Structure 1
Amino acid sequence: MLAFAVSGCAGNQSALDPQGAPAIHVEHLIIGIVAVCTLVWILVMAMLGVALLRGRRRAAQAPAASEKSITMAVGAAVAATVVTIAALTVASYYTTRGIGVPAPAAVTITVKGQQWWWQVFYAASGTDPGFETANEIHIPVGRDVRLELQSQDVIHSFWVPSLAGKQDLVPGRTNILLLRAEKPGVYRGQCAEFCGLQHSHMAVLVVAEAPEAYERWAAGQRQDAMPSSDTEALAGREAFLAKPCAACHTIRGTSASGKTGPDLTHVGGRRTIAAGLLDTTRGSLAAWIADPQTLKPGSNMPTVPMSSVELRAISAYMKSLK
């Protein structure tokens, strides 16, 4: 029996635990709106109580005096409503300006939403070529990161609460989002717009690390897949290239150049597979390859017939790709 682990990768996912400037601006707006709404509720309840207590006394007053009092109360309530809405609108406007993307961002990343995973492209920098990964975004701590958000199919929404607010991915256009982390960590995000059957299984991890560690990671990602010296992994490489797997996935350094599924060049070094569904262990890889439709029904990953020997070999090969 194949053993696999449901992903338990730690990661902050709370808009009230901000770890970057954009998320801090959003938190301040949230707290401000909640405070204003709480104050309004308290005032309304207080006025209701006063009205109930003074009901009998008002009934004995002259109709003209009662009508004048009501008119003044309604006028004051309307004025207070206009001022409150205007204040919240101005606060929202300045929050939006505060999380705008500066022109000279340190890193530019294109994120494409797919059903149901995240395709991630890192732009070339100087003489360094760009590269592709999936479902896991690495960023340098203390640097502005520009995300260019696109969709391949339906509307998605990119949301990493601890680092930024939500931003939609709309087919046919590119939306921009600023990410910035002030301390190292793993920040969990997800699609926040219902996008189909496996919407709830479309997570993304943002790994914030020191600039030096980020540069080392990026340099490794630019490299082709390194051939393993393990006999079983080598057999898995040959089986992978002989199966339909190579028609859907790319592994740089091999003849596999498919564009339908995620780039697997360094899949063994990622924390999760299947957009956060499973931790990246050999057992999870084998379970996913053997029967993806049971684990994630409706996904575009087909079940490829193979023997148990081929399955073990391919899972060993996938785990070796780091």
Structure 2
Amino acid sequence: MRVRSRLPFALLPGLPGCTGRQSVLDTAGTDAHTLLTMFWVMLAGLVVIWVAVNGMMLVFRHLSPRRHDEALARKMIVGGGIMLPTVVISALLAWGLSVMPDQRAPGDGLRVEVIGEQWWWRVHYWPEGAEAPVVSANEGRLPGGLRTEFDLHSDKVIHSFWVPALGGKMDMFPGRRTMMSLHPDEAGVFRGQCAEFCGASHALMAFETVTMPPEDFAAWLEHEAGPAVPPEGEVAERGAVVFAEQGCGACHAVRGTAAQGQVGPDLTHVGSRHSLGAGILEPTVENFAAWIDHTGDLKPEVEMPAYDDLPGDDLTALATFLMGLK
């Protein structure tokens, strides 16, 4: 079997990568579908140009390898090598520019402010008419069937906000605000990622995006705006004491308690999120303990120090407390 005949079979193992919750080819939003359509149309235009140019080379070099009339040669070069690519590319450009403004259309009331930090995401929800935001971190929740506007900026370096299954990406700059919007069509949990190299833990700066029916989102947002419900149980209660004794409240906020820190992520409902450490761990007691004990090992150059001197019982109690904040 020749190499070329085996090539399609060699590509088969890569096909599963075309689907999933972080695939641009497995769309769950209006904007992502528009971008995917744009990709296929531009790919078709590329094929037209490729076939035309290489077709002429095939004809004149292999099928008719003789000296040709100079006038014919000029027509082929100008028509097939210049005019055809120019017309096709210009048409694709005009069409692409006509659909791109939809990616920046105003939202239907909800505005989500996202700030890129080192290396995590600060998330503020601004419902229409709200005087203060609902604060969260490292996760986005969106009402399905509605367009949500995103207000994006960064703390220190350039980041890029991207949820491939829902839409395009948008860079985030220190001292400057950029805007985009997303219109999810399907309910689900989709993975987002920083798409701009931003430092040692760039690859570990992810987030989950949860889309849900509007009524479910409204109920979630009301709960998210409320204070933390203290976890029950002796171990969790001991964990709350450890949280206070270790000064965690100087960096983290837990609404309804004395912890009002603004340096790190808000932990009011951290146990209800779909991931820990900005998308790198599942939220379990064991992973909370590992994160607290080995923070810098799990996410290099993160600003949070590791509390590797905590006794084992206190570490477990603190992790149990955090996991119970829902």
State the TM-score, normalized to the length of structure 2.
Answer: 0.89
Write the deviation string for residues 77-117 of structure 1: whole angstroms up to 9, x where unpaired. 21112212211211220121232322x52311001111211
Q: Which amino acid aligns with 1:177?
A: M
1:43 aligns with 2:52: yes
**1:281 aligned partner:** 284
Name the % identity.
36
Is the 8 Å Cα contact of residues 32 and 166 (structure 2) preserved in structure 1?
A: yes
Q: 1:240 deviation in Å?
A: 0.6
Q: Which amino acid aligns with 1:278?
A: L
Q: 1:312 deviation in Å?
A: 1.1
**1:311 aligned partner:** 315
Write the deviation string for residues 151-179 of structure 1: whole angstroms up to 9, x where unpaired. 11111111111111111111111111111
1:259 aligns with 2:272: no
Write the deviation string for residues 214-255 of structure 1: whole angstroms up to 9, x where unpaired. 111111111111122311111111111111322111111111
Partner Cα distance (1:21, 1:173) in 2: 27
Unaligned runs of 5+ in 2: 1-18
**2:24 aligned partner:** 15
- Distance 1:127-1:196 versus aligned 2 partners, 3 A rule: closer
Is the 8 Å Cα contact of residues 49 and 85 (structure 2) preserved in structure 1?
A: no
**1:218 aligned partner:** 221
Is the 8 Å Cα contact of residues 129 and 222 (structure 1) preserved in structure 2?
A: no
1:290 aligns with 2:299: no
Q: Which amino acid aligns with 1:45?
A: N
1:118 aligns with 2:127: no
Q: 1:53 deviation in Å?
A: 2.4
Q: Which amino acid aligns with 2:254?
A: I
**1:232 aligned partner:** 235
Write the deviation string for residues 270-317 of structure 1: whole angstroms up to 9, x where unpaired. 111111110000000000001111111111121123211211110011
SS at match of 2:104: coil
* Aligned with residue 145 of structure 2, among 133, 142, 145: 142
Is the 8 Å Cα contact of residues 151 and 169 (structure 1) preserved in structure 2?
A: yes
**1:91 aligned partner:** 95
**1:3 aligned partner:** none
Unaligned runs of 5+ in 1: 1-9
SS at match of 1:147: strand
Q: Which amino acid aligns with 1:116?
A: W
Q: Which amino acid aligns with 2:192?
A: G
Q: 1:262 deviation in Å?
A: 0.5
SS at match of 1:31: helix
Q: Does 273-282 or 47-56 show the bigger shift?
A: 47-56
State the TM-score, normalized to the length of structure 1.
Answer: 0.90
1:174 aligns with 2:177: yes
Partner Cα distance (2:87, 2:98) in 1: 17
User: How many pairs does the alignment contain?
Assistant: 306
- Distance 1:28-1:284 versus aligned 2 partners, 3 A rule: same
Higher relative contact order (CA 8 A, sep 6+): 1
1:320 aligns with 2:304: no
Q: 1:119 deviation in Å?
A: 0.9
**1:26 aligned partner:** 35
Q: Which amino acid aligns with 2:246?
A: K
Moved over 6 A (4+): none
